[in-house]
Structure 1
Amino acid sequence: MSSTTLPLLFINLGGEMLYILDQRLRAQNIPMDKAKKVMNDIITTMFNKKFLEELFKPQELYSKKALRTVFDRLAHASIMRLNQASMDKLYDLMTMAFKYQVLLCPRPRDLLLVSFNHMDAIREFVKDTPSILDQVENTYKQLIEMYTPMSSGEFQLIRQTLLIFFQDMHIRVSIFLKDKVQNSNGRFVLPISGPIPHGMQIPGEIRMYSCTGDESSMLLFNNAGNYAPAVSEGSFDLFGDRVTKLGTNMYSVCRPVETHMSGTSKHLAQHTKVNLVPNPLAKEELNLLAELMGGLDVHKNVDSGFRVNLFATDEEEEEALISRPDELSYGFINIHATKDQTTNAELAKIMGEFSESQQSSDQSPSISSKGDDLLAMMDGL
């Protein structure tokens, strides 16, 4: 597992969220000034300097539930409000879009290009607001400084970490189904033919090496694809726009977008109650993360707020809310975090439970450190 994956996951999911919200604000004819305020408030919170400083520190990924809670808070960091069903649908679209982009990257390093595409779009959203634009530019510099020196092996580890995070998510999306890039079970259809990225070999050989680094044997296999080698770095740019378009806004052309639970996901949801061991700290974990993105007082403009619906009608939204499995919906839980040292110690202890997999006792110092980092992040916001 890579300890440098979290910034890419957060920024790319955040970029997809902004694409979707921008499309829905325009589709529902929200006044320009209110729509702009919503986008500015969310981007301001997303690129808060102190929050990003903690985000870019080496650390493990948050659990799925913890990350979902962060984006719940982020989406409500303005006067806009989302119904629970709309928030579920928003998060489904975000995760499936970025998962597809990760799967399509010909080279692990192309994850950085996808991230830059998202950053370019975010920069365009706030181009008329210098103070927020400066926040985005600073984040752009952090991405360049952190990721451009990395080796291909490090990017491969990041890619594997992302795929592990997404591996159980099989939500059907109408755009992907219509374009025949997703099967009815929610799994993506990936191409097995096309140009090979510059510097790469055509698949078909498995080389075995000895402990001294010498090649000991080689096996051949049928790659079942029609590949063409790239002659130069420039020729890779002719890869059918696949790389250059990854991470760009697929909602720029207005199309209806629906999400559906696949058969696999329904099956998992039906057995969640049986297999899930109740965690007595679950509420406390969500409480703390609910405050994580709470730097802005999101309730002070409630009277002038408005609701955004990600469904075509209110009836569809209500139907989705009723049919959504309880295990896949996350409500809001609020707590009051204070500066009291005893309370902070308890919160730091709670933060140590975030990892989904049980860690051994000799790793407890790193868990405690992560809790301290997140507490500092919360206080900073």
Structure 2
Amino acid sequence: MDDVTTALLNPKTLSSIFEKSPLMDMASIRSILESVVLCSIMKLDSNSMNKLFDLMTMMFKYQLTAATGPREVILITLNHTDAMRDMVTDESAHECVSLVHQMIVDLYANLRYEEVWQARNDCLDLLRNYNVRVNVLLRLGLQNQNATFNIGKPNYNERYEKQRAEIGQLKLTDIICEKCTIGSFNLFGDRITVLGKNIYSPSFGKQPKPCLKRTSRQLSTDPGCKAELGMLALQLGTEETIYERPFSLTLYVNDKNTNSKSEINIDQTENYLQDDDEIEGKSNKNKQEYKNKLESLYGDLEDDSNDIKRSMDLLDLLDEV
């Protein structure tokens, strides 16, 4: 994720996005995204790349279609930068994400509502004939079989179309009314809208909790990752679920009559030594069985590695989850 994020935030890539220029065609957009995806150790074949591009494009189209106003369009973009900040672990990558966040706010906050809304409409016009069914949208009921979208009741609604004539020429930073609930443009502010968040998350569609103030040095931790790694360790047999003490050795016992330490019975000591030898033998046997098990598992992985590379599809795996 650090490699992908660093490639996406490459100055050359950003310069082509933030400079004033005509809208990119789909071929140029795909070329940029492919170079970003292929910069890491993960490699995708043409079929997987097509599916990934369809997923990104249709999610982008859905988010713009469901947006209720120009301010939400920018909040969606900031949700994407927030997600990048949560995924990366390198401190310099955190600083890059924060810099891009500031570039987005500086560029669009000085634009009028109507200008941002027109940019949104231009993007939708570019994607008008791009209709692909996406499994995750179909499963959530957000898309129909004919690839059209189902837009439900939004949790964040600017009602821009109703007040377009009144506020169209105002800047995004202008306060419309104090009673309105609007998302924050701050670095760690509450965006309110769920659009732009991880659609594969179980909490997608629910009202987001207010964001706590964080710093770039506070890297995020996911307790779910630790639980999954622990489960994987149990399945591979590298971690024991229950620990039992093999035996207990008491060298001193209390005599109720004399309240003094009694001597250890020689026969009892010999029994303890025999138990110790038996336990050591069992331990060596278990180690050998564990070694054989790992060698067998490694051999199976080597034999099936080619089949796994041919059959594994990352997007299908996400859909199954």
When normalised by structure 2's length, the TM-score is 0.54
- Which of the residues 145, 151, 160 maps onto 1:184? 145
Q: Alpha-carbon deviation of 1:193?
A: 9.1
Q: Alpha-carbon deviation of 1:70?
A: 1.7
- Which of the residues 124, 128, 136 maps onto 1:167? 128
C-alpha spacing 1:309/1:198, structure 2 compared with 1 (3 Å): closer
- Whole-angstrom CA distance in 1 between matches of 2:144 and 2:90: 42
| Correspondence list, 1:267-346, <5 A | 309-312=313-316
Q: Which residue is 2:65 aligned to?
A: 103
C-alpha spacing 1:174/1:149, structure 2 compared with 1 (3 Å): same
Q: Which residue is 1:150 aligned to?
A: 111
Letter in 2 for 1:232: K
Q: Which residue is 1:116 aligned to?
A: 78
Larger RCO of the pair (alpha carbons < 8 Å, separation 6+) = 1
Q: Alpha-carbon deviation of 1:202?
A: 8.0
Q: Which residue is 1:139 aligned to?
A: 100
Letter in 2 for 1:252: S
How many residues were matched structurally? 196
C-alpha spacing 1:96/1:312, structure 2 compared with 1 (3 Å): closer
Give yes or no for contact 2:52–2:315 (8 Å, CA) kept in 1. no
Question: Once superposed, what is the RMSD of the aligned Cα atoms?
Answer: 3.3
C-alpha spacing 1:144/1:182, structure 2 compared with 1 (3 Å): same
What residue ranges of structure 1 are gaps of 5+ in the alignment?
A: 1-38, 207-229, 256-305, 314-381
- Which of the residues 174, 195, 201 maps onto 1:252? 201
- Who wins on radius of gyration, i.e. which is larger? 2
Give yes or no for contact 2:72–2:193 (8 Å, CA) kept in 1. no
- Whole-angstrom CA distance in 2 between matches of 1:170 and 1:177: 13
Q: Alpha-carbon deviation of 1:191?
A: 4.2
Give yes or no for contact 1:96–1:171 (8 Å, CA) kept in 2. yes
When normalised by structure 1's length, the TM-score is 0.46
Letter in 2 for 1:150: L
Letter in 2 for 1:100: Y
C-alpha spacing 1:167/1:199, structure 2 compared with 1 (3 Å): closer
Alpha-carbon displacement from aligned partner over 1:113-147 (angstroms, at most 9, x marks no partner): 00000000101112x31111121111111111101
Q: Alpha-carbon deviation of 1:165?
A: 1.6
- Whole-angstrom CA distance in 2 between matches of 1:202 and 1:193: 17
Q: Which residue is 2:46 aligned to?
A: 84
Alpha-carbon displacement from aligned partner over 1:24-62 (angstroms, at most 9, x marks no partner): xxxxxxxxxxxxxxx111111110124323421101122
Alpha-carbon displacement from aligned partner over 1:244-301 (angstroms, at most 9, x marks no partner): 110001123499xxxxxxxxxxxxxxxxxxxxxxxxxxxxxxxxxxxxxxxxxxxxxx
C-alpha spacing 1:129/1:311, structure 2 compared with 1 (3 Å): closer
- Whole-angstrom CA distance in 1 between matches of 2:156 and 2:48: 39
Q: Which residue is 1:67 aligned to?
A: 29
- Which of the residues 14, 17, 20 maps onto 1:58? 20
Q: Which residue is 2:87 aligned to?
A: 125
SS at match of 1:106: coil
Q: Which runs of 4+ in 1 moved over 4 A?
A: 191-196
Q: Alpha-carbon deviation of 1:108?
A: 2.2
- Which of the residues 180, 201, 214 maps onto 1:233? 180
